[in-house]
Amino acid sequence: MAKIMAINAGSSSIKFQLLDMPAETVIASGVMERIGLATGIFTLKFDGKKEETNPVLPTHAEGVELLLHTLIEKGILKSLDEITGVGHRVVQGGEYFQDSALIDDEALAKIDKLKDLAPLHNPAHIIGIKAFQKALPNVAQVAVFDTVFHQTMSPECYMYATPYEWYENYGVRKYGAHGTSHQYVSQRTAELLGKDAKDTKIIVCHLGNGASICAVKGGKSIDTSMGLTPLEGIPMGTRSGNLDPTIVSFIAEKENLSASQVVNILNKKSGYLGMSGRSNDARDVTLGMDEGDYRCKLTFDVQAKRIVDYIASYYVLMGGCDAIAFTAGMGENLIHLRKNILDRLTVLGVKLDEEANNVRAVEREITTKDSAIKAFIVPTNEEVMIARDVIRITNK
C-alpha cells in the first residue's frame, strides 16, 4: 500500500489530493488559496467532512508545511513516512518530456527552461515542487505533464504553416493541453464501450473554464484543439479560441494597445465573459440564456458550433468515431450544452437520449441504443492518473 500526494500548484494556490494506492481511494483533498496575500484560505476535505480555515501563507513553503502538519494533527496520517511519492501536474513538457519524469536537478532545469512556452504555469509548478522537496526531502517527486499524451501527434497535425525556422528556433508548434484528462477519459470510455483502447476511436470534449477537444485513436492522441498555448481551439470561459490573427493588429491600432495587451484580452476577457458580457461562469450565462438574453444564448451556440467543427474534422481524421465523451465542469454538468452539441451531429447518426442526458456529473451513456456514435459523460480524474504515474515511474 502506498499513499501518494497529487499536487497541482498555481501561482497563488496548491490543490492537493492524498490517494491510497493501488486502491485509488481518496484519503483527503483540498486546496490552499491566496498564498502571498494577507489571509489565505485552506480547505480540507476528509472523512466526509469539509473544514475551512484562514491561515497566513506567505509562500508555498508555509502552505506545504501547514498541509503536512494538519494531516498528522487530524490523524489522517500517523507519520509523514506514509507518503511514498508526490506527483506534480506540470502544464508544459515541450518535446523534451515524452513521459512523466522523476524530478532531479536536470528535470527541474528543463521545466524551468520550458517556461517560455507556459509563462503562467511552469514557474508556479517549480515553486510547488521545491516546497515539497524541502518538506519531504526523502520522498520521490514525479512530474506529470499535460503535454505528454499529445506527443503522439504526427507533424502534419502539430505543425503550423509558418516559417519552418520558427519551429526550429523557438519550438513554435502545437503542444496541446489537458493531456492527463484526455488520457483518463478516453481510457475510461474504452472500458465503457467494452473494448480494448487499441481498437477505439474516441473524441474527448474536456469542457471546463479551459477547454479542449482531443481525437484519441487506438488509445493515442492524434490531434487536439489547443496549440502552442491554451488560447487556440474552441471558445472558453475567458479565452476566444481560434480567430483571424489579423484581429490582433487591427484592434491594437483601433484601441491604441500593444499586441500583448490585445492577446491578454483574448486570454482573459473573451470567450464566455466577453461574448455574454456577464460572466466567465457557465452557470451565470445559463441563467442569462433562460432569461432570454440574446448574447448568452449566442455564447453557447458559438461554442457548440465550434466544438462540432472539431468533432466533424476528427471524425474524418480518424476514419470514424465510436464515442464522444464529455468531461470537466461544463461537459459533466451542462445538460443543455451537451444537447446543443449532439443535436448538431444527427447527420452522423448521433441520437441523444434526452432522459439519460438529464443528469450532472454521473458517468453514463447518453445516446440511444441505435445511435451510430455513442456519447458518454465521464467525470475526469487527473489526480488518479498522476498517482498511477508516480507509482509507475518510481517502480521503473
Is position 31 an interface residue for ligand AMP (rule: CB under 6 A)? Answer: no
Print the binding letters for residues 348-377 with ligand AMP: x by CB under 6 A, - otherwise: ------------x-----------------
- Sheet containing 25-33, strands listed edge to edge, beginning at the edge strand earlier in sequence: 49-53, 41-46, 25-33, 14-21, 2-9, 83-90, 140-145, 101-102
The residue number with the shortest CB distance to ligand AMP is 329
Provide the grid cell at 178.
Answer: 489537458
Is position 43 an interface residue for ligand AMP (rule: CB under 6 A)? Answer: no
Of 163-171, 297-305, 330-338, 370-378: span binding ligand AMP (CB under 6 A)? 330-338
Out of 12, 43, 209, 261, the only residue in the binding site for ligand AMP (CB under 6 A) is 209
Print the binding letters for residues 288-317 with ligand AMP: x by CB under 6 A, - otherwise: ------------------------------
Strand 220-224, strand 83-90: pairing: unpaired
* Residue in 146, 244, 301, 322 annotated catalytic: 146
Identify the CA nearest to 238 among candidates 289, 303, 185.
303
Out of 128, 208, 230, 274, the only residue in the binding site for ligand AMP (CB under 6 A) is 208
Secondary structure element (H or E) that encloses residue 32, with its range: strand 25-33
Beta carbon of residue 226, minimum distance to ligand AMP (angstroms, whole number):
14
The residue count for binding ligand AMP (CB under 6 A) is 12
Of 35-43, 76-84, 156-164, 280-288: span binding ligand AMP (CB under 6 A)? 280-288
Phi, psi of 254 (to 5 degrees): -60, -40
Give yes or no: 47 in active site.
no
Identify the CA nearest to 238 among candidates 304, 204, 285, 290.
285
Is position 283 an interface residue for ligand AMP (rule: CB under 6 A)? Answer: yes
Answer whether 56's CB lies under 8 Å from 34's CB: no
- Sheet containing 201-207, strands listed edge to edge, beginning at the edge strand earlier in sequence: 220-224, 211-217, 201-207, 323-327, 374-377, 364-365
Identify the CA nearest to 304 among candidates 345, 273, 333, 276.
345
Query: Per-residue b/e over 204-224, b at no fewer than 16 CB within 10 Å?
Result: bbbbbbbbbbbbbbebbbbbb
Residues in 53-82 at the binding interface with ligand AMP, rule: CB under 6 A: none
Give the nearer residue to ligand AMP in terms of CB position, either 145 or 326.
326
Beta carbon of residue 80, minimum distance to ligand AMP (angstroms, whole number):
30
Which residues are near ligand AMP by CB under 6 A? 208-209, 237, 281-283, 328-330, 333-334, 360
Active site residues: 146
